[in-house]
Amino acid sequence: MLTFAFRKLLTLVGTMIGIAALTFLITNVAPGDPARLVAGPNATEDMVATIRTEYGLDKSLPEQFIVYMGELVRGDLGTSIVTTRPVLEEVMRYAPATLELVFVAMFLGIVIGVPLGMLSAVYKDGPLDQVTRIFSISGVAIPAFWFGILLQLMFSVDLEWLPVSGRLPLVTRPPEFVTGLLLVDSLIAGNFSTFWVSLQHIILPAIVLSFPCLASILRVNRAEMIEVLQSDYIVAARAHGISSFRIVALYALKNAMLPTLAMIGLRFGWMLGSTVLVETVFDWPGIGLYAVSSALSSDFKPVVGVTLMIGFFFIVANTLVDLAYAWIDPRLRKA
Amino acid sequence: MTAHPMTPIDTSVEDTRPLTFRERHASQIRQWRLYAHMFRKSFSSMLGLSLVVLFLLLAAIGPLIVPYPEAASGAINMSAKLQPPSSTYWFGTDEMGADIFSRVIIGARTSLWIGVVITGIAAIVGITLGIIAGYRGGWVRAVIMRVTELFLAVPGLALALAIVAALGPGITNCVLALAIVWWPGYVRLVEAKTLSIKEELFIESARSIGAKTPWILWHHILPNCMSPIIVKMSMDMGMAILSAASLGFIGLGAQPPSPEWGSMISVARTYMPDWWWYSLFPGAAIFLTVLGFNLLGDGLRDILDPRSRDR
Amino acid sequence: MFGKIIRNIAIAGLLASSVLATPAGAFERTDKGNVIVFGGRQAIPVLDPHIRYDWSTRMMQQAVYDGLVKYEGDPAVIKPWLAEKWETSEDGKTWTFHLVKNAKFHNGDPVNAEAIRYSFERGLKLNKGVAWMLKDFLAPEGISVVDDYTVKFELKAPYTPFLSFLPWWYIVNPAQVKAHEVDGDYGQKWLTDNEAGSGPFKLGRWEPNVLYEAEAVADYWKGWPQGDANRPAGVIYKIIREPAAQKAALQRGEADIVEGLTPDDYVQIARAKGIAIEDHKGMTTFGIKFNTQQGPTADINLRKAIAYAMDYDALIQVYNGAASLETSPIPDAMKGHIDVPGIPRQDLAKAKEYLAKSGYPNGGITLPYVHVAGLEEARRIGLVLLDSLKPLNINVEIKPEQWPNMVANGSKVETSPSMTSVYTTPVSTDPDAVAYQYHKNSWGQYFAMMFYDNPKVTEMIDKARSSSNWDERAKLYADIQTQIVADQPEVFGMLQNRRWARRDYLQGFQFSPVRFTGEVDIYPLWVKAE
Amino acid sequence: MTALLDIKNYRLDIGTFDGPVHVLKGINLSVNRGDTLGIVGESGSGKTVLVRSVLGIGPRNSKVVEGSISFGGQDITNLPEKDWTKIRGIRISMIFQDPMTYLNPLFTIGRQISDVIAAHEKAAGAGVSSRAARRARTEELLDQVGLPNPSMLFSQYPHQLSGGMRQRILIAMALAGKPDILIADEPTTALDVTVQAQVLDLINSLVEKLNLTVIMISHDIGAIATVAKRCAVMYKGEIVEQGMTQDILNRPQHEYTQRLLAAVPDIDVEPERVAAQAADAKPAKRSNLLEAIDLKKVYRSQSGTDFTAVNSISLAVKTGEIFGVVGESGSGKSTLARMLMRLIEPTSGDIIFDGQNISGLSGEPLRQMRRHMQFVFQNPHSALNGRHTIGDAIGEPLRIQTNMSRRDIEARAEALLDIVQLPKMFKYRYPHELSGGQKQRVCIARAIALNPRLLILDEPTSALDISVQAQVLDFLQELRSELNLTYVFISHNLAVIRQICDHTIVMKRGEIVEQGDTEQIFLSPREEYTKALIESGRKTSQAANLQV
């Protein structure tokens, strides 16, 4: 178990360094000059040079890379040239918002996707199956940004049921910082009205984010359920008189959960990536929005930092999935 | 264990006359008829096929049938800007007075191009690397798979965003960036498939008659990988179009006046909700196209992937 | 129509939703009073007044800091602020400012001459943000404290526009800044999201990428023009990135004033009840800059041909009429502006005539048109240009670029594209602010992407900026304008109007053209409750 | 007395794309309380479909055309699902074929059995007993089927147990409801020879102890004969013959039964070949075609431990003979065969083919060498690429190894089909359209396409039905004399080895236990292991010893 953890950790570190190198190189081949942006429109050449020197941009690319990797090993993600703050600090500030969104979306995806997948497997090729199939594939096919805007128009602008964007109303002060997740923090603080309004704010972006994920969870769960339901041990369970409900909801589901879990892990990373779009539409102050605004101002350290962070969460999620695998599947426990 | 439904061929009749085409290809004909039969039975598959056919048709002849073909090349008519849908302008007009119907239809060609190029590059690179990794093993596989995992650990859209932001906006850069992040999916698919096929007896059998590695890869492994690849490519056509549109939406996509759907929505979103038609139609076009390719892929999976084939 | 359909579908659900429905209230009321909400599209990454300025940043800087003087009104005039009066020496090199006695920083420290000296020294030494305005003429050593409330500036050379830049130099409290200095950084790190000012507001909540709150200072040393009873409790600058969301927020009363709607939105929303549009002629010029040194556009006849082919009416239509055509490189609101006779207007015959004289008599070339990615109007103008040049058989390739990349490319003759769309807002009301863009020393700057090189013009500009005689300067600027138009280094476009949409209960809005597009002086704003 | 189970004129169709397939045609069968009935049939005979129909878990898309099944006087032909819960698993229960796949891998043994108990209690309407009570009952059942240490087994998972133990657990599960009828579906097929015998013994003892009514289906007449007093023979969806097992074995009436019985290789019959050869009396001192010297294969697992699959084996195959290799699964015989072909690289040792040491060959010379040695695989179903036509498969060696034109290859492929006695039109067919025996013929055709001198046959018949097995074996012998081939023949089936091999080695855990002339080994085995092997072979796959 210890060697397992150690190997995981080693892969994690290796992958992180790989991602850092990859994104650093990609973002730095561009001709863009962020220093000039920061210096302001009228800045003279020597003013731009001041900033370049301050952020080490006057060095050659390989030098910058070595410096960056050196900092990275020490846990320093560099400094954003636009906000002049350490990237790590900013990423940590924005990460809870993103995680909260992703958790809620993932929750929706699992809570709706798994049972629906189960039902359409049981009623395979029936009308319910056809409907969920089109519904779920619509989920993958719908452009998230477009869908988000439609929902905004419908529920916020037209019906005025839900707020247009943001995490909290303007005058509501965020609850005391514990986890950074407003839903959790407000409950800890015992402030139910804040909980309620932050729930209202998160619901639309979470739906948009969860829709494609829900779809693939549903598809995988359905496919696996169909296969498991045809497997020998299910036939045996039927032959031994176990009730259909128990077979489907316990025996088959547990087996079908393995690939579904893998999909959830995969989709977790995908969701983190999609926050780039959803957070833009809903002005959700998370790392996705931070990445987009940084990318648009050629401020690349935050882009690399966010990519790293997403990679990190993704790997962590997949490690958790691996552990869940071992927990569910006794055959893997010895490894 | 059910009885094998396929009755072995009757060996008693031995005919000396040359066989007709139909007889020689009886097996394939039956197979295709079976596919067609299974495909037709599923409403969603047929819906997908219809959408894809419609899309391909529009991509092929779109510019010939639209009322204002010049709308796609930047003709402006400021006096007719932001007109709601009418008999003159079926989908209304945009902020420069261009006919949205014409632009959406002609945009199909752009989208098709985007989908084909991204999927094509990704598939060629991914299949090649995947098959090599799966068959060769050893350090070759280790290197390929490490790089692949690296790419897979970063969400594609975020990485593509970084690449396009670095290369500068534009449809070519967009396609390039997406192709760069797209191939690892194929590597993983093909590598896994190759690993399992490699263990099949017929591979050993081919080796025992002295087949060289390229022959085995080309004649034995590749054809057996094709089903999931075809399914994935079909789905990816849609997803690539969607991703390109997403980049277009962020403002990194096609340059004006090119009628790319994502870029159209990117502009149109600022005209919401009062000029709703502007974003509705390109959005619907993306949605239906991607839906079509995905439903088609899903239908193909049902008939091509033996795991779900139970009749 | 779309809205109606949804509304009908949803009517059934309305009853059930009464729990969810948030009251579409007006301005936010807190127990301290009304809070005005400003919906803006861009963030305020760094508040430090000597590091950075753009419209949103400067709006907030203006709220929490004071300068020696301040621009107010339309046309903009320089008003005494921390300095109650000032005088200039004969040779125009020494400026002496006398400070008001009652000004104090938010922590209670008095605003004295040392604070002024320190702030200017800080700005110059950091060599960022506003430094460029004065650094060529003022060294840190040139600033001296005469007495507690008198400060003296000695310039290296006479510089008439000196005063016009001073409103943008805000005064920080040296004691507070020094207390937060880290590694001799002049308190840069601390001032990023803290303030040490004396302005009418102090900082409230500071949630980057979400909102920035300014709380009114009850006993602001200069008092409140709207009266203490009307003065707001504070102002929240809320980031709303999407124009559609801005519009929605305004309509729902979640924001009291927004900027950055599309031209069509303004037309549309003006009809809505309870909403008023602020529409003012601004100083921001739009030009399509040619690369006059390299490529096809080095040919003046081609430049003229393009200028005559341009559909100028469409430029105005892009803004739904809320713009006026440039009649000179210098905007109308600026001193010394003249209407240059014969500035090109659309005339295809003339365009073809010039084209025939150029190196491309039959067209057949493709010219790039670069604009800042995401700038909607610039993109649309690109489409107008593309359409306008079709009769000349010239094709236009519209290329959106990220601002830093565009600037980087535009800093060298070799990489500068043939045509670049550039909006320029002069930082002061002095004509030198615009004229100097056509000076050879400006090469490499984004507004000088045309690499304009006319020694005669350069000489005239140098002469005009050091002269303190206005009549002489006015004549020089008239000649400069005429000559630049004749050389056609750019297509002279239009001056777009500055627009905001606000709730009609929001009072005290004061426009000043010298501020940036979007920037509002929030000091005089107040809410008139029914 | 009415029969406990009565099947009358039962006809069942399965709908497929090609139209309905008549899976069961007019089945008449009745089982009385206390009966032990065996159903014998080869794959595709419909025996599994039949017993599953009795349990109401027949194939999807099936349709009862005619007839009925009644159980205890109640018609259960088209029983609704909710009524089945009172019968399935409680009054009729089933032991499944493959212990590997019929246990849910994610649940403990105890959980799975006590769930079955709970389900039965619920169906009986008596209310579910306590967890502890169920545990006690489960452990009792485990004890009953002869499993040691039931309380430990209770919390173990299926993958921690051996195949034989899992089969016993399946039996325990089937007994959980004290069923009226116990159906055993090929309960021994997936097990090793020695384990097979034990499981059959267990079933026999349970029948005796619990007075069970048993229906056992199997393709193995030997297994049926061990358990069942009565017996029915199924062929292509029909029962061709039924009666007392003894009678059928001794006096088979139907032509198919006769054929089936004749096809069972008999371990105790001296092959005709020996007599013939003795008569031939050729002194012919034949040369060695293939020699292996000190072959060794060591696998290194990921954890770093070594596993020796083949340990220092030396052998010599003479030109023209059939060289037998026999051993249980895991004895290393397949690894050995593959090493001889250089399909697996030996860790050490030499292989000499026709006087040339081929263990160091690589690249082109190795490819050339492959012309002379060919391999026929155990499982013809996976040895052919499903995407290639038969013509392509047979032509492939020619396309790889020769410069023959397309047309010549076509002609040669047709000729080869002729040699393996398949029609020419098969060229255009795909493997999945062929039966197992036909596929194995195609594999053989492919193997002889290049006129090799040596064929290595790795259990060429074990994946085939018995009647087909016999045909293929006959055909192989014919082919050998026709084409002058030398065989290395690998099998776990001693009867088959005795029937055809001249010289035999017996392998156990990667080593040769005994070697010598085949007849010598069978008549007077020297080693204990060989003796035990022959003994268990006699017990299970041999029906003839019951024909007393």
CATH assignment of the domain containing A177: 1.10.3720.10
The count of CB pairs under 8 A between chains A and B is 151
Instruction: Give the separation between CA D161 and CA D103, rounded to whole angstroms.
Output: 11
Give how many domains chain A has, as a whole number: 2
Query: Which of C466-470's residues contact partners 24+ apart within 8 Å by CB, and which partners?
Result: C466/C157, C466/C158, C466/C159, C466/C160, C467/C160, C468/C92, C468/C158, C468/C160, C470/C335
Instruction: Give the separation between CA B297 and CA B286, rounded to whole angstroms.
Output: 16
Statement to judge: residues A156 and A39 lie in one domain: no
Q: What's the pLDDT at B15? A: 52
Is residue B16 a part of any domain in this protein? no
Mean pLDDT of B125-135: 92
Whether residue A242 and residue D119 make contact (CB cut-off 8 A), yes or no, is: yes
Please give the C-alpha separations between residue D361 and each of A135, A325, D132, D296, in angstroms, as whole numbers. 60, 45, 66, 17
> Which of B11, B37, B202 is opposite residue D17, by nearest beta carbon?
B37
pLDDT of C11 strictly over 60: no
Statement to judge: residues A63 and A178 lie in one domain: no
Is residue A166 a part of any domain in this protein? yes
Q: What percent of chain B has pLDDT over 90?
A: 16
Instruction: Give the separation between CA C414 and CA C511, rounded to whole angstroms.
Output: 41
Instruction: Give the separation between CA D41 and CA D234, rounded to whole angstroms.
Output: 5
- By the 8 A CB rule, do C310 and C325 touch? no
Domain span(s) for CATH 3.40.190.10 in chain C = 23-64+199-274+504-529, 66-175
Is residue A293 a part of any domain in this protein? no
pLDDT of B76 strictly over 60: yes
Are β-strands D356-357 and D348-353 bridged in parallel, bridged antiparallel, or unpaired? antiparallel
pLDDT of D256 strictly over 60: yes
Is residue B96 a part of any domain in this protein? no
pLDDT in tens, C334-362: 888 999 998 999 999 999 999 999 989 98
Q: What is the band of D477 on the pLDDT scale with cuts at 50, 70, 90? A: confident
pLDDT of C302 strictly over 90: yes
Give how many domains chain B has, as a whole number: 1
pLDDT of D165 strictly over 90: no
Q: What's the pLDDT at C26? A: 43
Classify the C-alpha dihedral A233-A234-A236-A240 as positive or negative. Answer: positive
pLDDT of C250 strictly over 50: yes
Q: Chain B partners of D61 at a C-beta cutoff of 8 Å?
A: 311
Lowest mean pLDDT among A163-177, B6-20, C384-398, D6-20: B6-20
Q: What's the pLDDT at D302? A: 66
Q: Is the ipTM of this complex over 0.85?
A: no
Tokens of B243: 């991703």
List the domains of chain D with CATH numbers. Answer: 5-263 (3.40.50.300), 272-372+452-546 (3.40.50.300)
Statement to judge: residues A51 and A94 lie in one domain: no
pLDDT of D370 strictly over 60: yes
Tokens of C147: 């007495």
Say which residue, A199 or B74, is predicted with more confidence: A199
Is residue B146 a part of any domain in this protein? yes
pLDDT of B310 strictly over 80: no
Instruction: Give the separation between CA D389 and CA B25, rounded to whole angstroms.
Output: 10
Mean pLDDT of all residues belonging to chain C: 87
Q: What's the pLDDT at C264? A: 84
Say which residue, B8 or B19, is predicted with more confidence: B19
Q: What percent of chain D has pLDDT over 70?
A: 93
Helix, strand or coil, per DSSP, at residue B168: coil
pLDDT in tens, D114-127: 888 888 888 777 77
Statement to judge: residues A169 and A257 lie in one domain: yes
Q: What is the band of D272 on the pLDDT scale with cuts at 50, 70, 90? A: low
CB D161: neighbour CB atoms within 10 A? 18
Whether residue B307 and residue A227 make contact (CB cut-off 8 A), yes or no, is: yes
Q: Establish if D10 touches chain B: CB-CB under 8 angstroms.
A: no
Superfamily for domain range C282-496: Dipeptide-binding Protein; Domain 3 (3.10.105.10)
C441 φ/ψ sector (left φ>0, alpha ψ -120 to 50, else beta): alpha
Please give the C-alpha separations between residue C357 and each of C299, C351, C483, C495, in angstroms, as whole numbers. 10, 10, 21, 31
pLDDT of C10 strictly over 50: no
Distance from CA of A161 to the nearest CA of C (A): 5
Is residue B282 a part of any domain in this protein? yes
Mean pLDDT of D500-507: 89
Q: What is the band of A334 on the pLDDT scale with cuts at 50, 70, 90? A: low
End-to-end alpha carbon distance in chain D: 32
Statement to judge: residues A238 and A209 lie in one domain: yes
Q: What's the pLDDT at C485? A: 93
- Name which of B68, B78, B172, B174 to mutate to probe chain C: the one with the most chain C Cβ atoms within 10 A of its Cβ: B78
pLDDT of A178 strictly over 80: no
Mean pLDDT of D144-169: 86
Q: What's the pLDDT at A105? A: 93
Select C66-175's CATH number: 3.40.190.10, 3.40.50.300, 3.40.50.2300, 3.40.920.10: 3.40.190.10
Chain C residue closest to B263 (CA)? C374
> Which of B251, B256, B280 is opposite residue C374, by nearest beta carbon?
B251
Q: Establish if D481 touches chain B: CB-CB under 8 angstroms.
A: no
For A63, the enclosing helix (H) or strand (E) is: helix A61-73
Statement to judge: residues A142 and A210 lie in one domain: yes
Distance from CA of D237 to the nearest CA of A (A): 22
Of the candidates D186, D190, D182, D236, the one whose C-alpha atom is nearest the C-alpha of residue D212 is D182
**CB within 8 Å of C237: residues ≥ 6 apart:** C38, C40, C44, C56, C59, C60, C211, C212, C213, C214
Q: B: neighbours with 3+ CB pairs under 8 Å?
A: A, C, D
Is residue A299 a part of any domain in this protein? no
Whether residue C444 and residue A156 make contact (CB cut-off 8 A), yes or no, is: no
From chain B, which residues contact C within 8 Å (Cβ)? 74-76, 78, 81-82, 84, 95-96, 165, 168-170, 251-252, 255-257, 267, 269-277, 280
Question: Helices B261-268 & B276-304, crossing angle to 10 degrees?
Answer: 140
Lowest mean pLDDT among A34-38, C253-257, D488-492: A34-38
> Which of B27, B38, B223 is opposite residue D433, by nearest beta carbon?
B27
Q: Establish if D55 touches chain B: CB-CB under 8 angstroms.
A: no
- By the 8 A CB rule, do A178 and A311 touch? no
Q: Which domain holds residue A57?
A: 2-73
Is residue A32 a part of any domain in this protein? yes
Tokens of D467: 């009647």
Q: Chain A partners of B158 at a C-beta cutoff of 8 Å?
A: 272-273, 276, 288, 291, 306-307, 310
Torsion angle of alpha carbons C165, C166, C167, C170, nearest 10°?
120
Superfamily for domain range C23-64+199-274+504-529: Periplasmic binding protein-like II (3.40.190.10)
Whether residue A328 and residue D105 make contact (CB cut-off 8 A), yes or no, is: no
Whether residue B161 and residue A276 make contact (CB cut-off 8 A), yes or no, is: yes
B-contacting residues in D 58-87 (Cβ below 8 Å): 59-61
- By the 8 A CB rule, do B140 and B203 touch? no
- Name which of D79, D81, D86, D106 to mutate to probe chain A: the one with the most chain A Cβ atoms within 10 A of its Cβ: D106
Say which residue, B154 or B277, is predicted with more confidence: B277
Mean pLDDT of B4-30: 62
pLDDT of C171 strictly over 90: yes
Instruction: Give the separation between CA B74 and CA B132, rounded to whole angstroms.
Output: 47
Tokens of C266: 């303004």
Statement to judge: residues A29 and A146 lie in one domain: no
Mean pLDDT of all residues belonging to chain B: 83
Q: What's the pLDDT at C50? A: 92
* Token pair 């770093």: residue: D304
Q: What 8-state DSSP symbol labels residue B286?
A: H
> Which of D90, D106, D120 is opposite residue A330, by nearest beta carbon?
D106
Distance from CA of D80 to the nearest CA of A (A): 13
Q: What is the band of A186 on the pLDDT scale with cuts at 50, 70, 90? A: confident
Is residue B77 a part of any domain in this protein? no
Instruction: Give the separation between CA A45 and CA A36, rounded to whole angstroms.
Output: 9
pLDDT of B20 strictly over 80: no
User: What is the CATH number for B164?
Assistant: 1.10.3720.10
Q: What percent of chain B has pLDDT over 70?
A: 92
Is residue A118 a part of any domain in this protein? yes
Lowest mean pLDDT among C56-70, C314-328, D466-480: D466-480
pLDDT of D279 strictly over 70: no
Statement to judge: residues A141 and A204 lie in one domain: yes
Q: Chain D partners of A235 at a C-beta cutoff of 8 Å?
A: 57, 96, 102
pLDDT of C35 strictly over 60: yes
pLDDT of B14 strictly over 60: no
Q: What's the pLDDT at D284? A: 53
pLDDT in tens, C486-505: 999 999 999 989 999 999 99
Q: Which domain holds residue B237?
A: 45-57+111-308
